[in-house]
A and B are shown apart, each in its own frame.
Chain A
Amino acid sequence: MKDLCPNHGWTLLWITCLTCLGALPFLANDYLVGVGLTLLMWLALTQSWCVLSKMAGYVSLGHVVFFGLGAYLVVVTWQQIPLVLAVLGAGVLSALVAALVGLPVLRVRGPYFVILTFGLAELVKYTLTWIESASGMASRILFGAPDLRVIYFSMFALALAAVALLTWVGNSRFGHGLRSLRENEEAAETLGVPVVRYKLMAFVLGAAIPGMVGAIMALRSTYFVVGQVFDPMISVTVIAMAILGGGDNARGPLLGVIFLTLLSELLWANAPLLYMVILGAILIVFVLLVPNGLIGLLEGRRAAASASAGKPP
C-alpha cells in the first residue's frame, strides 16, 4: 500500500473512486453506468499496459491485440461454452500469445519496438479478417448477452485486478528490476538483473487482463466485426491516458484515465469534429507544457506548498 498512498490525499482518492464506481449501477441511469463502464475499461487497459511499457520502457503500440483476441474468442465460442470459461480463456489465450511471441519481439528496442507492436496487432487483425471472410462470415451478431450491470461488475473486478497488479509490480523487486532496465538495459544486465526473463514476464503479465477486458466488452455491443475490435485507436488512447497521467506507478494512469474519459464525455456530447480538434490541442499542450503528466503537476504543487509552508500567511 506504500506506493498507493503515501499520504491521506491519495488514500481518500482511491476510496472515493472505489465507492463511487461501486455504487454507480445502483444509483444512476443506463447512460451513466455506461460511462462508468468505459472508465473502468480504460483503467484496466491502461494499468495493464503500464506493466511493460511504463515500467520497462518498452512502449507498445499494439496493446489492442490482446483486447481483440479476447473479444474474438468470446464471439467464436458464443453459446458453445459457458461465458465465464470464455472470458477466463481469453485471458489465458492472450497470455499464451504474449509468451509465444515475447522472446523475439522483445529483442527489438525503442521506436522499432513501437512500430513492431503496431505491426503485430495489425497482422493479427488482418489474419483474422481473412479467416472470417474465408469462412463466409461477414459479421456476427450476439443475442442474449448478459445485462449491463453484470458486465459492469465484471469490468470493475478486472480494473481492480489491473490496479493491484501494477501496484504489486511497482513495489516488488521485479518492478525495480524493470525500472533499472528502462534506464539502461546493458548496465542492468551487467548488474545481474535477468533482463530477458523480466521483460518477458512483464509482457505476459500485462497481456492477460486486456484479453479479458476485450472478452467482456464484446458482450456490450451485440454486433461484432474484426476491424472494430482491433481498432488501433484503442492502443493510442491507452498511451495517451498513461502519458497524460504521468508518474511511475498506479496513481498516474488513474488520473489520466479519469481526466480523459470525463473530458471525452463532456466534449463529444457537443460538437463532434470540434471535440476532436480540442482533444488534439489538449494533447499537444500537455506534452509541451506538462511533460510529467498530471502526477507531475500535482507533485510539483505539493513540493511548492511544502517549500512555502514555513512562511507566514
Chain B
Amino acid sequence: MTVLETLLSGQLLFAALVTGSLYALIALGLNLVYGTMRMLNVAHGDLVMLGAYGAFAAFTLLGISPLLAAPAIAAVGGLLGYGLYRGIFRKILAGGSSTTAVRLESNSLLLFFGLSIILQNATALAFTPNNRAYNYLDTVYRVGDVAMTGNRLATLLIAGTLCIGMALFLARSVLGLAMRAVIERREAAHIVGVNVDRVQWLSFVLGFGSAALAGVLVSMLGQFSPFSGFPFTIAGFIVIILGGLGNVMAGLLAAVLLGLIETYGVALTSANMRSVLLYGAFVAALLLFPNGLFARRAAAR
C-alpha cells in the first residue's frame, strides 16, 4: 500500500478507533483513581483482566451474553472499588499528610503492585493459567471498503459512548464539576463545600467499574489469561501521563492519539516497530512536555 492509501484507509481508521476507544476507557478509570488518590494504580490492568474473566464465566458457564452481563460486571467492579476505598484508602488519604511525597509514591507503587500480583495469581489458581477466549458477535459487517467484526464495532460504540458521556458529565454536571475540583485541589474543594468523601468514593466506583467494563469488551476481542492485564496497565499509564495526570479530557484525547499512532505507525513501518513507535513517541513527548502534552503549568527544571 502506498503511504496515501494507508493514511486514507477506512479499515485502518476503524482499527485505530477501536484500539483508541479501549485505551480511552481504561485511561478514564485510571485518571479518576489517580486524580483522587494521587496514587499510581498499577493493578488497573488486572481489574480489566478480571472483568474479562467475569464475562467469560458468564458466557461459558451461564450462557449470558457479555453485553448483557456487562452492567453487572461493571457494578461488581465498582463495588470492589468502593470496598477498597472504605476499607483502606480513606484512612491513608486522611492521615497521610506527614508522609513525604516520595514515600507515598513508591509505597503506593508497591501497594498496588502487591494487589496486582494477588489478583493475577488468585485468578490463575481459580481459572488455571490457560489462555481463554470465546466467540461472540463474530459476524462481519461491511460498509464500503471497511470490514467490521460485530464485537469490534460494539467495543467502539460502547467504549466511545461511555467516554463521551463521562466527558460531558465532567464538563456539564455539578457533580462532575465537583469531581474535577477535587482532582485539581482537594483541600480547596473541601473549603468551597464539596463533599470530598462522596466525590472520592464515586471516583473509585467509576474508576474500577470502567476497568471491569473494559475487560468485558476486551474478552470479546481476543485471548486473555490471568497475566494479560499488564499491557493494559502500561497503555493506560502512557495515555494518562501524556494527557497530564488527572486531566480526564486530555486523557481521552491522548488515548485516541495513541490508537492512531499505533495503527498507522505500524501500517507505515512494520508490526515489529509497534512498541518502538509507541514508547518512542511517549518518551519524546514527555521529554518535551514534562507535565504531559496538555499541561498548563510551566515545566520543572
A residues with CB within 8 A of B: 53, 57, 59, 61, 104-105, 107-112, 114-116, 118-120, 122-123, 126-127, 129-130, 133-134, 182-183, 185, 189, 195-196, 236, 239-240, 242-244, 273-274, 276-277, 279-284, 286-288, 291
Q: Which of B47-104 contact A (CB under 8 A)?
A: 88, 92, 99-103
Supposing A108-B286, A115-B238 touch, asked if A287 and B114 sit within 8 A by C-beta, the answer is: yes
CA distance A108 to B300 in the complex (A): 7
B283 within 8 A of A: yes
CB distance from B25 to the nearest CB of A (A): 19
B residues with CB within 8 A of A: 34, 40, 88, 92, 99-103, 105-111, 113-118, 120-122, 124-125, 234, 237-238, 241, 245, 272-273, 275-276, 279-280, 282-283, 286-287, 290-292, 299-301
Q: Is the CB of B105 within 8 A of A111?
A: yes
Q: Is the CB of A112 within 8 A of B107?
A: no
Q: Is the CB of A283 within 8 A of B283?
A: no
CA distance A18 to B237 in the complex (A): 41
CA distance A53 to B105 in the complex (A): 11
Supposing A59-B106, A115-B241, A288-B111 touch, asked if A127 and B276 sit within 8 A by C-beta, the answer is: yes
Supposing A108-B290, A239-B106 touch, asked if A276 and B120 sit within 8 A by C-beta, the answer is: yes
Listed by A's residue number, 21 A-B pairs whose Cβ atoms lie within 8 Å are A61-B109, A107-B290, A107-B300, A111-B34, A111-B245, A112-B245, A112-B292, A114-B40, A118-B234, A119-B238, A119-B283, A119-B286, A122-B279, A123-B275, A123-B280, A239-B109, A242-B106, A273-B124, A274-B121, A279-B117, A281-B118
Interchain residue pairs A-B with the least CB separation, the first 5: A283-B114, A280-B117, A280-B118, A123-B279, A126-B275
Q: Considering the complex, give the chain B residue whose CB is closest to the CB of A123.
A: B279
CB distance from A229 to the nearest CB of B (A): 16
CB distance from B33 to the nearest CB of A (A): 13
The interface residues of chain B lying within 8 Å CB-to-CB of A280 are: 113-118, 121
Q: Is the CB of B40 within 8 A of A111?
A: yes
The interface residues of chain A lying within 8 Å CB-to-CB of B241 are: 111-112, 115-116
CB distance from A63 to the nearest CB of B (A): 12
Q: Considering the complex, give the chain B residue whose CB is closest to the CB of A182.
A: B102
Pick the contact of A277 from B34, B125, B290 — CB < 8 Å?
B125
CA distance A111 to B300 in the complex (A): 13
CA distance A120 to B283 in the complex (A): 6
Interface of A is mostly: helix
The interface residues of chain A lying within 8 Å CB-to-CB of B279 are: 119-120, 122-123, 126
CA distance A108 to B282 in the complex (A): 13
The interface residues of chain B lying within 8 Å CB-to-CB of A111 are: 34, 40, 105, 241, 245
CA distance A45 to B256 in the complex (A): 37
The interface residues of chain A lying within 8 Å CB-to-CB of B238 are: 115, 119
Pick the contact of B287 from A105, A114, A183, A283 — CB < 8 Å?
A105
Q: Is the CB of B125 within 8 A of A274?
A: yes
Q: Is the CB of A185 within 8 A of B300?
A: yes
Pick the contact of A114 from B109, B116, B273, B292 — CB < 8 Å?
B109
The interface residues of chain B lying within 8 Å CB-to-CB of A107 are: 287, 290, 299-301
CA distance A181 to B234 in the complex (A): 29
The interface residues of chain A lying within 8 Å CB-to-CB of B290 are: 107-109, 112
CA distance A300 to B13 in the complex (A): 60
The interface residues of chain A lying within 8 Å CB-to-CB of B114 are: 279-284, 287
Q: Is the CB of B283 within 8 A of A287?
A: no
Q: Is the CB of B109 within 8 A of A291?
A: no
Among B121, B238, B299, find the residue whose CB has the most chain A CB atoms closer than 10 A.
Answer: B121
Among A114, A273, A276, find the residue whose CB has the most chain B CB atoms closer than 10 A.
Answer: A273
CA distance A114 to B113 in the complex (A): 14
The interface residues of chain A lying within 8 Å CB-to-CB of B280 are: 123
The interface residues of chain A lying within 8 Å CB-to-CB of B121 are: 273-274, 276-277, 280
CB distance from A237 to the nearest CB of B (A): 10
Pick the contact of A283 from B110, B273, B286, B299 — CB < 8 Å?
B110
Pick the contact of A57 from B102, B286, B287 — CB < 8 Å?
B102
The interface residues of chain A lying within 8 Å CB-to-CB of B116 are: 280
The interface residues of chain B lying within 8 Å CB-to-CB of A287 are: 107-108, 110-111, 114
CA distance A284 to B84 in the complex (A): 13
CB distance from B37 to the nearest CB of A (A): 11
Q: Is the CB of A243 within 8 A of B106?
A: yes
Pick the contact of B107 from A109, A182, A196, A243 — CB < 8 Å?
A243
CA distance A182 to B118 in the complex (A): 32
The interface residues of chain B lying within 8 Å CB-to-CB of A286 are: 110
CB distance from A276 to the nearest CB of B (A): 4
6 new A-B pairs (CB below 8 Å) besides A111-B40, A111-B241, A116-B287?
A111-B245, A126-B279, A189-B301, A236-B113, A239-B106, A273-B121
Q: Considering the complex, give the chain A residue whose CB is closest to the CB of B107.
A: A287
Supposing A107-B290, A276-B117 touch, asked if A239 and B110 sit within 8 A by C-beta, the answer is: yes
Supposing A276-B120, A277-B122, A291-B103 touch, asked if A283 and B111 sit within 8 A by C-beta, the answer is: yes
The interface residues of chain A lying within 8 Å CB-to-CB of B272 are: 129-130, 133-134
